[in-house]
Amino acid sequence: MSADADKGSFWDHLDALRGVLIRIAVVTLVCGIVAFIFKEELFRIVFAPKDASFVTYGWLEKLGGLFSSAEATDFSVQLINTGLAQQFVIHVKTALCAGFLCASPYILYQLFRFVSPALYETERRYAVNVVGSGYLMFMAGVLVSYFLVFPLTFRFLGTYQVSGEVENLISLDSYMGTLIMMCLAMGIVFEMPVVCWFFAKLGFLTSEFMARYRKHAIVLILFVAAVITPTSDVFTLLAVSFPMWLLYEASILVVRSAQRIKSPEAEIAEC
């Protein structure tokens, strides 16, 4: 193949990548604009964990009623705004985050369409499984944070008082920052089984190794949970570290299963 052909092929790929990025940006922007327009519905979802009527608190009350006859305590936390343009800026940022989240399946589809022609059939099948599993695990982490970790953290810290004379007024920026950070952190943490499976397929990780160093992993999980949590209280630390420990145990089973299955490189070599 000539140098001109190679150069033309490179620019063709670059032009295709630019088209993919433009389509991704347009779809994400459109989804963000739709989310921006439906402001009431968007922030009804965002602010739901701060209300005592949130579904998680109802589940906890029913669960507590099985073991105790004590009445559930109601709570109320008020959000305040401390900046002139802060509410508008947060509205825009939240709409863009919601737009990106809604457009994420399309984004993955476009990126896979761009990369897949360079993959073997076996590699393509593994890529679909890895990317699909990774996306589902990330969304599962976001949902766990939204429905479990963040509500428990907010209820504990939002109602905690050193004295009855001190009233809690949580800033809007603090609420949104904590919510987004915890959802993002839990989404990344939930990628643990996928990452462990990938390392196992490469031969870098075994289930025996993970089981042998389980105690060390628990200490590391507590350290990571302390780093990614925006607060320093023990309650939030345990709320974040417990799902991480369950993921570690699940990762051991995933790695054990991966060790019994041939890697894509081995399958290609046999073809």
User: Please, what's the b/e burial string for 53-67 (b: 16 or more CB within 10 A of its CB; e: otherwise)?
Assistant: ebebbeebeeeeeee
pLDDT of residue 6: 44
Q: Mind listing the pLDDT tens digit for each residue in 208-218?
A: 888 898 999 99
pLDDT of residue 1: 39
As a whole number of angstroms, the distance between CA 70 and CA 205 comes to 48
Helical pair 234-258 and 150-159, crossing angle rounded to 10 deg? 170
Measured CA to CA in angstroms, residue 123 lies from 45, 111, 133, 134, 205 at distances of: 39, 15, 15, 16, 20
Q: Mind listing the pLDDT tens digit for each residue in 147-161?
A: 988 888 888 888 888
Q: What is the mean pLDDT of residues 61-66?
A: 66
Q: Mind listing the pLDDT tens digit for each residue in 152-203?
A: 888 888 888 888 888 888 899 999 998 998 898 889 888 888 888 888 887 8
43 SS3 class = helix
Q: Mind listing the pLDDT tens digit for each residue in 132-146?
A: 888 999 999 999 999
pLDDT of residue 3: 40
